Amino acid sequence: MTYKVALVSLGCPKNLVDAEVMLGHLPPERYQIITEEAKADIIIVNTCSFIREAKEESIQTILEVADYKEKGRCRLLAVTGCLPQRYREELAAELPEVDLFMGTGDAPRIAALLDEALAGKGGQLAAVGLPDFLYDHSTPRVKSSPHYSAYVKIAEGCANHCSYCIIPQLRGTLRSRSIDSVEEEVRRLVAQGVKEINLIAQDVTAFGAERNDGGNLVALLRRLVRIDGVHWLRLLYAYPDGIDDELIDLIAGEEKICNYLDIPLQHIDDAILSRMNRRVGEAETRELIERIRRRIPDVTLRTSFIVGFPGESEAQFEKLLAFVREGHFERVGVFRYSREEGTPAATLPDQIGERVKKSRYSKLMKAQARVSFRKNRALVGRIEPVLVEGYSEETDLLLQGRSIRQAPDVDGLVYITAGNANVGDIVPLRITDSSEYDLIGEICEDD
C-alpha cells in the first residue's frame, strides 16, 4: 500500500533540514509526499520548543492537524523533533490524538517507526532516543526549499551552554561534519541548480572544534569558494568570539561569500552577559564591530537581543536601547526572555514580569526600525545584486527577490518595479526606494 504523507515543519532552518532528512528516509515506493494535510494518510509535525512561543505554536499546530483524523483521511499523526525530545511523557498524556512521537535524533528510523505505528492496535508509540544523529552528504534528503537556494547544516548541537538555552539538552553537544562531507553536499546541490548556499549551525564559528583534525570554518570556506556554480555563500549564526581576523579577511576578499554576518549578541550590559554565561562583553563587542566594518566596509550585520532577562534593571535595558540607537546593525531580532525549565537562568532571582518584557520589546523594535529605515534609505541609487524569487505575494504585477544583504525568511524583500528576469536569476538592480525593511528597484537591463 502507498501512503500519502504531509509534513509540517516549524521553527528554524535547522529544523527544516531535519524535516527534509526525515522525508528522504521514506521509501518512495511506499510513501508519496504531498503538501495538503487534508489529503494525507499520514501527517508529520516537526516541532520546535526553543522558547514558550515556539512550544505554543507547536501544540496549536498539532491540535489543528489532528482534526484531519476526523474530518480528513488521516490515519496516523506523528509528532517529531524538539518538543517530544523534551516532553515525551507529558505529551503522551496530554495529546492522545498523536500516534507516534520521535525525537531530534530519530530521523533514520522513521520508516520503521511508521510501519510499527501503522501495524499497531491504536496505542501510542514513543521512540525518543539520544540526540546524537548527524546527517552527512550520503544521507537521503528531500529538498523542500526553492530550487535556487538551500540550507546546509554543517554541525549539530552546541557546546556554549548559555544559561537561558535548552538547545544542548535537545540537540546534544557540538558535532561537526567533515569538510569533505560538506563539500560533496554543496557540489551536489549546485549540480541541481542551487545558487545560494546558507551554511547553518547553532554556532558556525565552532565548526570543527571538537574533531581535532585541523578543519575549521575558514578551511571549509576556502574549499567551497572553489566550487564552480556557487554564487552566494551565506553564514548564519556566528558566535562573536569565533569571528577572527582570518575569517573577516576571507569574507572581505572572496566575492562568493556574502558580506553578511548574523552575530547573536543577546545583550550589551556586562553583568547581564555574565549571568547569561556569554563569553564576550561590551568592550570586545564594540571592538569586533569596528574591526568588521573597517575590513568589510559594505558588510550587513544582523544580531539578536533578549529583553527581560532575570535581574535586567531599567538602567541596563536603557543601555541596550541606547546601543541599538547607535545604529550598529542593519537587522535586529528581539526576543522576550522565556523562562525554560531545566536551564540555569530559570532558577535565577528577580524574574521580570511579562508586561515589562513586552514594553521593552516594543521599545527596542521601534528603535531598530528607525535605524533600519535610515540604512535602507542610504542604499537608494546603488546597484545591488538581487536573487529573483518570483511574483510578489502582494500583486502579480511585480517580481520580488532578495538582495545579497537579505537572508531568506528572516530579512526583508526587494520589490522589482521594472525589468524582466526568471526565477532563480541573480540580476543587477538599481535601488529606487525603500521602507523600514524592504527595498524597491529596477533591473539594470544593460549591465
Q: What is the pLDDT of residue 446?
A: 64
DSSP letters spanning 144-208: -S-TTEEEEE-EES-S---TT--HHHHH-S-EEPPHHHHHHHHHHHHHTT--EEEEE-S-GGGTT
Beta strands in 219-359 (DSSP E): 232-235, 257-262, 300-307, 331-336
Architecture label for domain 3-127: 3-Layer(aba) Sandwich (3.40)
| Binding-site annotation: residue ranges for [4Fe-4S] cluster | 12, 48, 82, 158, 162, 165
Q: What is the pLDDT of residue 121?
A: 60
| Binding-site annotation: residue ranges | 12, 48, 82, 158, 162, 165
Q: What is the pLDDT of residue 49?
A: 81
φ/ψ (deg, to 5) at 431 = -75, 125
Neighbours of 173 (CB within 10 A): 14
Strands 100-102 and 76-81: parallel
263-378 is a CATH 3.40.640.10 domain: no
Q: What is the pLDDT of residue 94?
A: 86
The CATH classification number of 383-443 equals 2.40.50.140
**Average pLDDT of each block of 10 consecutive residues along the chain (447 residues)?**
92 90 94 92 89 85 89 90 86 87 91 89 80 92 93 94 92 94 97 96 94 92 96 95 96 96 97 97 97 96 98 98 97 95 94 97 97 96 95 85 94 92 95 94 81
Strands 175-176 and 196-200: unpaired
Cα separation of 130 and 107, whole Å? 12
Domain 145-234+242-251 matches domain 263-378 at the CATH topology level? yes
CA 114, 100, 79, 155 dihedral sign is negative
Domain locations in the chain as residue ranges: 3-127, 145-234+242-251, 263-378, 383-443
Architecture label for domain 145-234+242-251: 2-Layer Sandwich (3.30)
Q: What is the pLDDT of residue 122?
A: 62
> pTM (2 decimals)?
0.93
